[in-house]
C-alpha cells in the first residue's frame, strides 16, 4: 500500500503514508486532504484502515425515527421540516400516539431502537419527554432510546429554567440511553449566524455534549456540509470533535451528511441551489476515517441524504456502518429527497450486493 502511494506522488502522500503507520492527520494535514482532489487514493487508504479494524463487514440498526413535533421557533434556513407555532400544518404527538408508533414498529419490523428528534417546541415541558422515555423503556425493553440533540436539550432547559446538566440527569433516569449528534451542523458561530442564527452556539453544543458524556450518555457526532462553510471551517469542526473525544471518549460514531437545499430558505434566497454531490460525500467519508481512526470508532455511510448507491460506495471509502432503517422519517423527506426509509431486508440486500457481510447492531454498536 505504501509503495502504491509513493508511486503516485500525490500531494497528500505523506499524510496517507502516516495513516497507514497509525499516525492520524492533525488539523493542518486535514486541510491538505480537504484541498486535495485525489479522492480515490484517500478512499483506498481509508478503506484499507476500515477493513483492518472491522473486516469486510458493515453494521446497521433496525429503528424508527420518531419526529415527535415539527413545531419550532429556531427558524433554521436549512430546514424544510419545521412549522411555526400556530401553523396549520404544525403537530405534536401525544403519548398515546408515540406508544402506538413504537408498538406497531416493534411488532411489524422488530425494531431495536427509536431515534427521537423534533423541533424546538417551547410548549413542551420536561415531563413530556420523561413520560415518553419511561413508557418506551418499560413497555418495550428491547428497544433502545436514542434521542434529543444538544439543541433540544438546550430548549428544554430554557422552558424549565433549569440547567442542561439537570435536564440530562432526569432524562437519563427516565430512560434516555444515547443521543444523536444533530444540532452541530458546522461548529463555527460565523457559519451558524448565516444558516441558523437562533440556534445553539458552538460552545453550548460542545458543553452540553460533554455534560451528556459525563452523565454516561454516549452520543454520535455529525457534520452537515455543502452550504456556506469553508474547508477551514470543516477542519476546525473535526478538530473540536476530536478534542472533546479525547476528554470524554463519549462519541460512538461520526456521521457526515450532505445538506439538501430543496424547499429550504437557503435555496429560495439563492444561497445554495444544489447539493454538493456524491464525490464530496466519498471525500468526507474517507477524511473522516483517516482523521478519527482509533478515536471515534464508527463512520456512518449516510444513505439517507446520499442514496443507497453512494452509501454502498462509502463502505469502501471508510464507512463501516450503514445507519438505520429510519422507518417513519419526516425531516429529510420534506425536501422532496429520495426514499427516506428502508426495511432491514433492503439494507441487508444492499450491503450483501457489494460482497460485504451485514451485522445488525443495537444502540451501542453491539451485534444483536
pLDDT grade for 335, boundaries at 50, 70 and 90: very low
Structure confidence by residue, pLDDT tens digits, 110-125: 999 999 999 999 999 9
Is the pLDDT at 2 greater than 80, yes or no?
Answer: no
Q: Does 364 show up as a binding residue in the annotation?
A: no
Residue 219, annotated as binding a ligand:
no
| pLDDT score for 284 | 97
pLDDT at 1: 60
pLDDT (0 to 100) of residue 74: 87
10 falls in which pLDDT band (50, 70, 90)?
low
The pLDDT value given to residue 6? 53
Is residue 336 pLDDT above 50, yes or no? no
Query: CA-CA distance, 349 to 42, in Å (whole number)?
Result: 27
Q: What's the whole-model pTM score?
A: 0.92
Q: Give the residue extent of every domain in the chain.
A: 2-361
Q: What does pLDDT average to over the chain?
A: 91
Does the annotation flag 19 for ligand binding? no
- CA-nearest of 116, 100, 139 to 63 is 116
How high is the pLDDT of residue 270?
77
pLDDT at 56 over 70: yes
Residue 64 near residue 93, CB atoms below 8 Å:
no
78 annotated ligand binder:
yes
Q: pLDDT tens across 266-292, in order?
A: 787 777 777 778 899 999 999 999 999
What was the pLDDT predicted at 264? 73
Residue 24 has pLDDT above 70, yes or no: yes
Q: What one-character-per-residue DSSP string does 179-244 give?
A: E--TT-SSS-HHHHHHH-TTS--HHHHHHHHHHHHHTT-EEEEEEEESSS--HHHHHHHHHHHHHH
Q: Which CATH class is domain 2-361?
A: alpha beta
Of the two residues 307 and 28, the one the predictor is more confident about is 28
Residue 234 has pLDDT above 80, yes or no: yes
Say if residue 30 carries a ligand binding annotation. no
76 among the known binding-site residues?
yes
The mean per-residue pLDDT over the stretch 297-321 comes to 91
For cell 407555532, what's the residue? 85
Quick one: CA dihedral 8, 14, 20, 26, positive or negative?
Answer: negative
Establish whether 334 is an annotated binding residue: no
| pLDDT tens digit sequence for 139-161 | 999 999 999 999 999 999 999 99
Of 76, 27, 91, 83, nearest in space to 259 by CA: 76
Q: How far apart are CA 215 and CA 208, in angstroms?
A: 10
User: With 50 as the cut, is the pLDDT of residue 256 above it?
Assistant: yes
pLDDT beyond 90 at 312: yes
- Listed in sequence order, the residues at least 6 apart from 4 whose beta carbon sits closer than 8 Å to its beta carbon are 44
Interatomic CA distance for residues 249 and 134, integer angstroms:
27
Amino acid at each position: 500500500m505504501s509503495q502504491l502511494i509513493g508511486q503516485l506522488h500525490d500531494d497528500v502522500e505523506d499524510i496517507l503514508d502516516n495513516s497507514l503507520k497509525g499516525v492520524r492527520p492533525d488539523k493542518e494535514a486535514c486541510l491538505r486532504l480537504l484541498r486535495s482532489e485525489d479522492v480515490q487514493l484517500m478512499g483506498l487508504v481509508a478503506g484499507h484502515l476500515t477493513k483492518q479494524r472491522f473486516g469486510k463487514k458493515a453494521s446497521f440498526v433496525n429503528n424508527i425515527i420518531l419526529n415527535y413535533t415539527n413545531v419550532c421557533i429556531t427558524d433554521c434556513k436549512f430546514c424544510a421540516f419545521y412549522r411555526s407555532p400556530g401553523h396549520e400544518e404544525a403537530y405534536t404527538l401525544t403519548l398515546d400516539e408515540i406508544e402506538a408508533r413504537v408498538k406497531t414498529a416493534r411488532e411489524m419490523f422488530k425494531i431495536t431502537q427509536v431515534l427521537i428528534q423534533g423541533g424546538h417546541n417551547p410548549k413542551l415541558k420536561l415531563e413530556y419527554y420523561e413520560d415518553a422515555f419511561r413508557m418506551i423503556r418499560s413497555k418495550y425493553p428491547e428497544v433502545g432510546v436514542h434521542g434529543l440533540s444538544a439543541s433540544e436539550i438546550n430548549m428544554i432547559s430554557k422552558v424549565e429554567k433549569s440547567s442542561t446538566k439537570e435536564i440530562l440527569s432526569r432524562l437519563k433516569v427516565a430512560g434516555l440511553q444515547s443521543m444523536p449528534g444533530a444540532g452541530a451542523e458546522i461548529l463555527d458561530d460565523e457559519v451558524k449566524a448565516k444558516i441558523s442564527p437562533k440556534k445553539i452556539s458552538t460552545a453550548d453544543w460542545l458543553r452540553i455534549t460533554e455534560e451528556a458524556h459525563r452523565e454516561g450518555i454516549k452520543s454520535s457526532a455529525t457534520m452537515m456540509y455543502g452550504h456556506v462553510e469553508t474547508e477551514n471551517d470543516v477542519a476546525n469542526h473535526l478538530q473540536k470533535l476530536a478534542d472533546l473525544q479525547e476528554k470524554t471518549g463519549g462519541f460512538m460514531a461520526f456521521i457526515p451528511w450532505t445538506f439538501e437545499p430543496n424547499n429550504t430558505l437557503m435555496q429560495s434566497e439563492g444561497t445554495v441551489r444544489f447539493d454538493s454531490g456524491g464525490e464530496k460525500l466519498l471525500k468526507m467519508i474517507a477524511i473522516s476515517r483517516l482523521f478519527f481512526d482509533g478515536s471515534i470508532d464508527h463512520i456512518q455511510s449516510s444513505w439517507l441524504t446520499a442514496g443507497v448507491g453512494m452509501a454502498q460506495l462509502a463502505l469502501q471509502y471508510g464507512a463501516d456502518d450503514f445507519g438505520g432503517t429510519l422507518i417513519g422519517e419526516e425531516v429529510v423527506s420534506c425536501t422532496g429527497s429520495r426514499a427516506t426509509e428502508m426495511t432491514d431486508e433492503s439494507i441487508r440486500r444492499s450491503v450483501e450486493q457489494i460482497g460485504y457481510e451485514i451485522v445488525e447492531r443495537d444502540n451501542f454498536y453491539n451485534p444483536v
